Amino acid sequence: MADFCDMSRRGVYCYDAVMNARSRPSGYFLMSKPTIALSVAALPTEIQAILERTQLKGLQFSTSEIIDVDDLA
């Protein structure tokens, strides 16, 4: 849990996986959230480019306690 809290102090929302019977993630639940979220604009340009390619449409970490894998498809 300490690692999750440390990341959240740096502005990152931290989730852990819910594993199904096949040892694959079926969803994710919020472990810790930042007081002040890290802005993508504050990251190096190379990291911004990677994150722009991996956006999850319609998902807002600030309001998502649980993320269902089926909702990500």
Q: pLDDT 10s digit of each residue in the chain, 73 long?
A: 778 888 899 999 999 988 877 777 788 999 999 999 999 999 999 999 998 888 888 888 999 999 988 877 6
pLDDT at 20: 78
CA–CA separation, 62 and 64 (whole Å): 6
Q: Model's pTM, two decimal places?
A: 0.79
For residue 8, what is the enclosing H or E element? helix 2-9
Question: Which pLDDT does position 22 carry in this prediction?
Answer: 76
Domain residue limits, the chain: 2-72
Look at phi and psi of residue 66 and say left if phi exceeds 0, alpha if psi is from -120 to 50, else beta.
Answer: beta
Q: β-strand 66-68 against 25-32: which pairing, if any?
A: antiparallel
